[in-house]
Amino acid sequence: MIKNEVGKGAIYVYIQLISSMISGYIFFIILAKITTTEIIGIFSLLLALSEIFGNIAILGLPDGMQRFLGKSFLQNKLSDARLFVKLSLVFLSIGITSALVLVIFLKDWLYIVFRIDDNLVMVVGLLVSSYAIYTVLYYIIIATLKTKKLPIIVTISSTAKVIMAITLIGLGGGVIGLALGYTFFGQILSAVLLGIVIMQVFKPSEKLAKSELKFRNASKDLLKAGVASWIPLLITTLGIDLGTLVLYGAHGPYQSGIYFLTLAILNALTAITYAIFTISLPALSSMEDGRKRFSWHTIRLSSILLLPLTISIFFYPDEIMRFFGNIYIAGSSSLQILLLSTFPIIISSGIDALVFAYGRYRQAMAINLGINIPRTILYFSLVPIFGMVGAAIAFTIGSIIGLIVSLIVARRIAMKISWKSLALILLIPVVIALIFSNLNVNYIIGIISTIIISYLVLMKLNIVEKSDGLFIVGLMPPRISRWLLMISNRLEKVLDWFYG
C-alpha cells in the first residue's frame, strides 16, 4: 500500500516537475532570443541569492515536515498533522523575518561585491519571501502525498510567469521586470494556489478529536528534525548556488548566465530522482520494516529512468545548448561535466533519504557535508582560473566525494546495493550512445534510439523487471493506464520473449 501511495505521489510530482522543465525551457529559450546573456546572468545572481537567504528562512522545515507531518497523515492522525502545519507556518514567519533583516544588514556588502543597488535588494527580499512561502507550502502537500493537483498548479503559474515576465521585458523592464514577473506570477501565484489546496486537504469531514501531542514536544520534534537538515541544506544551497555567485564575481554576467542554463538542464534531468526520493521520505518515515529494501528499489528505479536519458544527452551537448542560441554553445563542456554527477546524485540521494527517515541525522549531515564542502572550496580555487568549466568541475567532484561518503554510511547500516545491476544500467547506454555519436547520427535519432535500445537490452537482461512496467502503468490515470495495458497485451508475445 505504501509503495502504491509513494508511486502515485511520485508520478504527479514528476509530471509537475516535467511541466516546470518544459515551461522553463520555453522561458529561457525565449529569454535567450529577446534579451542578453548579461540580463540572464544578473537574474541568475538574484535567484542564487534568494535561494541562499530563502533556505535560511525556511529553517529546514521541509524535511522535518516530511518526517513528522507525513507520518501523522499516513497514520490518519489528522489532528496531529494540523498541529505540525500550524507550527510550520509560525516558524516560517520567524524565519522570513530573520532572513529579511539579514538581507538589509548585508545590503552595503551586496552592492560592493555584486553592484546590487537598493532596488535590486528589494527584489531579492521579495524573491526570498515568496521562495520560502512557496517551498514550505509545497512540502506540506508533498508530506500528505496528495500531489494530484500539483501539475495543474504549476501549469497555471508557469504559463502566467512566462507571459508576464516576457511582457515586462518587452516593455523595457529589464532584469527588474523579469524578476517581478517571475515572483508575482510564478512563486506567489503558486503559493496562493497551494494554500487553497492545503485548506481543502485538511478540512475535516467531521469534528476532530484534540491532538494528543503536546505543543512543546511537537515544536521540539519539528525543530530538531529541521535543524538537523537545515545546516546541510544551507551547505547544499551554497554548493549549488555559490558557483553562480563566484562565477559572476570573477567573470561577470556573461559566463554566469550561460552556466545558469547548463545547471538548469541538469536540475531538469535530475527532477526524476528528486520526485522519487522526495515523495518516498514521508513513506519511509512511517514504515516499520523493509526500509533498506524499499530504498534500494527507489535507487534502481531512479537509475533506470534517468541514466539512459542523461547519457544520450551527454554525447550531444552542442545540439542541446544550441536550442538557446549559438552563443550558448560555449557552455557545452560545462554541461557534459555536470552530467557526470547524475549517477553519484542518485546513490547519495537514496541513502540520504533512508538515514534521515531512520532519524540518523548525523549520518545524513555527513553525506551533505561530503558533497558540498568540497564544492565550496573548489569554487574559490577553480572558478577564477577556469570560469564556468571550473564551476562544473567543482560541482561534479563534490558529487563524487558525496557518493563515497554515502557508501561508507550504507556499509555501516548494512544496506545492500546490487552493483552489477547499476553497472549495466550505466554502461549499456554509454556503449550505445558512443556508437551513434561516432557514426555521426543525427542527435534526435541518436538520443531516442539510445533510450529505446537501452531499455530493450535492460529488459532482456531482467534489469528492468516486468513488474516495474506493470507498477508504473498502474500508477497512471485510468484512461492512460487502460491504453498502456491494451498495448502491452498486444505486445505480450514480444514481452514474453524479452523476459523469457
What are the cell numbers at 326? Answer: 549559438
- Positive or negative: CA dihedral 189, 191, 193, 195: negative
The pLDDT value recorded for residue 97 is 93
- Which amino acid is located at 163 in the chain? I
The pLDDT value recorded for residue 480 is 58
Contact 272, 345 (CB under 8 A): no
The model's pLDDT over 188-201, given as tens digits with 9 standing for 90+, comes to 888 888 888 888 87
Site of grid cell 508504473:
472
Q: pLDDT of the chain along its 500 residues, tens only? A: 444 555 555 566 666 766 666 666 677 777 777 777 788 888 888 888 888 898 888 877 777 777 677 667 666 677 777 777 888 888 889 999 999 999 999 999 888 888 888 888 988 898 899 889 988 888 888 777 677 777 788 778 877 877 887 787 777 777 888 788 777 777 788 888 888 888 887 776 555 556 566 777 777 777 776 776 677 677 777 777 888 888 888 888 888 888 888 988 888 788 777 767 766 655 665 566 677 888 888 888 889 988 999 999 999 999 988 887 788 899 999 999 999 999 999 999 889 888 877 778 788 888 988 998 899 899 989 999 999 999 999 999 999 999 999 999 999 988 888 899 999 999 999 999 999 999 989 999 999 999 999 988 888 888 887 666 655 555 455 565 566 667 666 666 666 666 55
CA 107 – CA 226 distance, rounded (Å)? 28
Chain CA centroid to CA 71, Å: 22
The pLDDT value recorded for residue 422 is 92
CA 369 – CA 377 distance, rounded (Å)? 12
Residue whose C-alpha is closest to residue 42's, from 179, 241, 240: 179
The pTM assigned to this predicted structure is 0.75
Q: Which long-range contacts (CB under 8 A, 24 or more apart) does 157-161 make?
A: 157/185, 157/186, 157/187, 157/189, 157/190, 157/193, 158/19, 158/20, 158/23, 158/24, 158/27, 158/186, 159/23, 160/185, 160/186, 160/189, 161/23, 161/27, 161/185, 161/186, 161/189
Chain CA centroid to CA 200, Å: 26
* CA distances in angstroms from 295 to 14, 279, 281, 287, listed in the order given: 18, 12, 10, 11
- Positive or negative: CA dihedral 403, 406, 411, 414: negative
- Which amino acid is located at 388 in the chain? M
The pLDDT value recorded for residue 1 is 46
The pLDDT value recorded for residue 5 is 52
Annotated domain spans of the chain: 2-417
CA 478 – CA 484 distance, rounded (Å)? 10
CA 16 – CA 142 distance, rounded (Å)? 12
What is the SS3 string spanning the chain?
Answer: CHHHHHHHHHHHHHHHHHHHHHHHHHHHHHHHHHCCHHHHHHHHHHHHHHHHHHHHHCCCHHHHHHHHHHHHHHCCCHHHHHHHHHHHHHHHHHHHHHHHHHHHHCHHHHHHHHCCCHHHHHHHHHHHHHHHHHHHHHHHHHHHCCCCCHHHHHHHHHHHHHHHHHHHHHCCCHHHHHHHHHHHHHHHHHHHHHHHHHHHHCCCCCCCCCCCCCHHHHHHHHHHHHHHHHHHHHHHHHHHHHHHHHHHHHHCHHHHHHHHHHHHHHHHHCHHHHHHHHHHHHHHHHCCCCHHHHHHHHHHHHHHHHHHHHHHHHCCHHHHHHCCCHHHHHHHHHHHHHHCCHHHHHHHHHHHHHHHHHCCHHHHHHHHHHHHHHHHHHHHHHHHHHCHHHHHHHHHHHHHHHHHHHHHHHHHCCCCCCHHHHHHHHHHHHHHHHHHHHCCCCHHHHHHHHHHHHHHHHHHCCCCCHHHHHHHHHHCCHHHHHHHHHHHHHCHHHHHHHCC
The pLDDT value recorded for residue 345 is 92
Chain CA centroid to CA 293, Å: 23
CA 120 – CA 103 distance, rounded (Å)? 11
Chain CA centroid to CA 35, Å: 27
CA 266 – CA 254 distance, rounded (Å)? 19
Site of grid cell 537574474:
43
